[in-house]
Amino acid sequence: MNIEIEKKDLLQLIGKTQNIVEKRNTMPVLVNVLLEADQKKLKVFATDLEVSLTDEVSANVTQPGKVAVSAKNLFEIAKKLSDGPIQLTKKENNWLQIKQGKYLSKIIGVSSEDYPVFPTYNPQSFNKIEAQTLKEMIDKTIYSVSNDETRYHLNGVFFEISQNGLRMVATDGHRMSLINKKVGTVETPIQQGVIIPRKGLYEIKKILEGHDGTVEIAIEGSQFILRSDSAVLMIRLIEGKYPNYQQFIPQKLPLKINLPRASFLQSLERVALLANQKSKAVQFVFSNGKMEISSQNPELGDAKEELEVNYKGQDIKIGFNAKYITDVLMSMDQDVVDFEINDQLSPGLLKQHGDDQYTCVVMPMRI
């Protein structure tokens, strides 16, 4: 293999693989990416056996070939080189020579035969979707994904494609986020939803960053497939049954409060500074025309702040984990938030005012 490639193109290609390659040494070969030069293109393959990526950029290929080398080492070296073309040459024993001007280095590689085979796919039909729509759906749900590895079926976002559009749901048992989006014609509905793991969602987001057009998505067997220009991302889905999330959504909550999102978020962040560091517990007290947010920590002190709100009804006190409410507010982009509650023991529901597509449920805390 002997090629010449622009620094910016090499960085763009290898940069996409940095969080995919396996950092742990369960399979040492997975710290590498596979480079393949052919027909004026340099292709890259990266996998940790759960998430796999292939992409390509233009290159001046003098001699085709393949080699697997450390993704981190190649990326770090390329970053430090000057702008302009870089020469990559495969040497004996699968070493890769990197040359630019008077700079010369060689990094140890492994045979392409030792690298895992990229998963194949042959879906009959991809669904086209706006890149920013998919990114928004991930942003509005991923923070609710569970970190509890023993509840592996909650370690991802539940994704449904139907003739009505797309739906994503995430819950960790303490909170839930649900978003619906109508899209154009759905070519291939999913009869049952699938669970996309957290790591795969972050890689999808990375590909969607700054992408203004459409991408293509498909489900084949146990794989979620995303195609965007020359990039193909394949993610192994989480096996398991997702809980019946509909039963977590409270119905007909009698107490409704309209809140200015920015003011609510800022007040909550200030008061939460003195909340218990583990529980993050804050208390909301609603009364006619106002809301008081307070926190108390025997080791730090206490804090409270009052907000004017659009509320008329009985006085009520209810406790929440401040981080859970903050995450919701930061994911929203409208000026007014609807906060609906029943009593101090029932879950609260947060929505963007006048928007039924995005629903967030947060369980209360005893304070």
State the CATH number of the domain containing residue 214.
3.10.150.10
Q: What angle do CA 163, 165, 166 make, to 5 degrees?
A: 130
Q: Are residues 341 and 306 in the same domain?
A: yes
Residue 122 lies in a domain: no
Q: Are residues 269 and 209 in the same domain?
A: no
Q: Are residues 188 and 283 in the same domain?
A: no
Confidence of residue 54 (pLDDT cuts 50, 70, 90): very high
Residue 350 lies in a domain: yes
Cβ atoms within 10 Å of 288's Cβ, excluding its own:
10
Q: Are residues 232 and 281 in the same domain?
A: no
What is the domain count for the chain? 3
Residue 26 lies in a domain: yes
Which of 193, 222, 246 is the C-terminal boundary of a domain? 246
Long-range contacts at 238-242 (CB < 8 A, ≥ 24 apart): 238/152, 238/153, 238/155, 238/156, 238/195, 238/196, 238/197, 239/195, 240/152, 240/153, 240/195, 241/153, 242/153, 242/154, 242/158, 242/169, 242/193, 242/195
Average pLDDT in the chain: 93
The answer to whether residues 305 and 293 touch, using CB atoms and an 8 Å cutoff, is yes
- For 262-318, the pLDDT digits (tens) are 999 999 999 999 999 899 999 999 999 999 999 999 999 999 999 999 888 889 999
Q: Are residues 318 and 292 in the same domain?
A: yes
Q: Are residues 203 and 222 in the same domain?
A: yes
Would you state the pLDDT for residue 25?
64
Q: Among 90, 88, 84, which Cα is nearest to 98's?
A: 88
Which of 246, 271, 301 is the C-terminal boundary of a domain? 246
Q: Are residues 132 and 108 in the same domain?
A: no
Residue 367 lies in a domain: no
Average pLDDT over residues 193-220: 94
Residue 120 lies in a domain: no
Residue 298 lies in a domain: yes
- For 2-11, the pLDDT digits (tens) are 999 999 999 9
DSSP secondary structure letter of residue 48: -
Would you state the pLDDT for residue 191?
66
Q: Which two tokens stand for residue 246?
A: 């509909």
Would you state the pLDDT for residue 314?
86
Q: Are residues 137 and 83 in the same domain?
A: no
Output 332 or 367, whichever has higher pLDDT: 332
Q: Which residues pair with 43 in a beta bridge?
A: 36, 56
SS3 165: strand
Range of the domain at 105: 2-114
Q: Are residues 43 and 18 in the same domain?
A: yes
Q: Are residues 132 and 239 in the same domain?
A: yes
Average pLDDT over residues 217-233: 94
Residue 119 lies in a domain: no
- The whole-angstrom separation of Cα 209 and Cα 135 is 8
Which of 76, 92, 114 is the C-terminal boundary of a domain? 114
Residue 121 lies in a domain: no
Q: Are residues 139 and 36 in the same domain?
A: no
Q: Are residues 136 and 239 in the same domain?
A: yes
